A and B are shown apart, each in its own frame.
Chain A
């Protein structure tokens, strides 16, 4: 969600986030239970079709799908070995790999076409029945801050790694962990203060 959203005006972009979340859940379920390779090929084609409908090349899913391939590089041979190298083993391994790739591509399409605000609003609607126990606004703020803090902490880690290298302490865990934790805590304090300044301390 961090910078993945690509603006657009397609049907997929304009669809309500809650509907997309629901369809995503159904899609994931179907991908998980489909055992027929032919049906699975159709499901994969449908995902490619949804990308086309969203006006996005399937390569847009690469940043999310790419890392999965590294996992599959190990998981597929292991699956085949466990099945004794049989044809059924290859089929199971192929389906497992396909399921993962298609599921991640589908989830990526959701993030590519849905703003964080829309996701938060969808969560707030979902949480409304639980208003006695859960403050939906607070949960929304929590999710937004979590998403926002990932690049912030990543930047802190990057700077600390550079500083560690500059001081010739590449191997030192202490030289990495201590400044990252201390700076993260200071950043958290500053963000809390900024939230209060924006009137979000109630």
Chain B
């Protein structure tokens, strides 16, 4: 294992000869990093590369020294990923079972699974909903469950791809507050600029390239000028 943090080195990627990301060089070490950009700009592809869900056509992406192409399994233990639609992320029928699912797959002892699941449910205010069918939860509760199911596995990095897009204002505040309060490194892809309040760094992607990479005030000014 070498350097801590996430490194993109000369990364390019495309779908059907259409370039999505071009010549990306980034070193992500800050605790709170936001990624913004228009639809189709490549920001979600960039985020997926951190978990190895998408691998670069050229260049390398490493997470805490692990190559996402060759060591995807180890990378996924380091990186928890939150999707826009939590319905796609929930595997088990009840809240408690879904949180315990990842731990069960890792072959942990039953008592440790029970303890860690109970802690995660308590932390995210889901204890009262533990036995409830996951598909009957509200959108906000589902996203809370997705977050709990990811964090129970103890990742050192959390990547969230537009985690608040399907939520109302109250749940957006709730999820944003939780993401900001995490001890892990957090990388959030978003269109909602309020989510990035208090972040350390914001990267603006446009047509597959990094066009701004700075503290939020400066980077977001560039982003807003692009929009106008």
Contact = CB atoms under 8 A, between A and B. Distances in A.
Nearest to A3: B133
B57 to A, nearest CB: 18
Contacts of B134: 148
Interface residues of B, number: 34
B49 to A, nearest CB: 12
B93 A199 contact: no
Interface string B76-93: 110011010101111111
B135 interface: yes
A155 B93 contact: no
A90 interface: no
Nearest to B77: A199
A202 B107 CA distance: 14
Contact of B94 (A115, A141, A152): A115
A120 to B, nearest CB: 9
B31 interface: no
Interface residues of A, number: 30
Contacts, number: 92
A117 B100 CA distance: 9
Contacts of A115: 94, 97
Contacts of A137: 105
A116 interface: yes
A7 interface: yes
Interface in A125-175: 137, 141, 144-145, 147-148, 151-152, 155
Nearest to B74: A199
Interface in B147-174: 149-150, 153
Given A152-B135, A194-B83, A202 B100 contact: no
A2 B131 contact: no
A83 interface: no
Given A3-B133, A137-B105, 16 more contacts: A1-B93, A2-B133, A3-B93, A3-B135, A3-B136, A117-B97, A117-B104, A151-B133, A155-B87, A187-B88, A191-B91, A195-B91, A198-B101, A198-B150, A199-B73, A199-B105
26 contacts: A2-B93, A2-B133, A2-B135, A115-B97, A117-B100, A137-B105, A144-B91, A144-B92, A147-B93, A148-B90, A148-B93, A148-B134, A187-B87, A190-B88, A193-B88, A194-B91, A196-B76, A197-B53, A197-B76, A197-B89, A198-B91, A198-B153, A199-B76, A199-B105, A199-B153, A201-B76
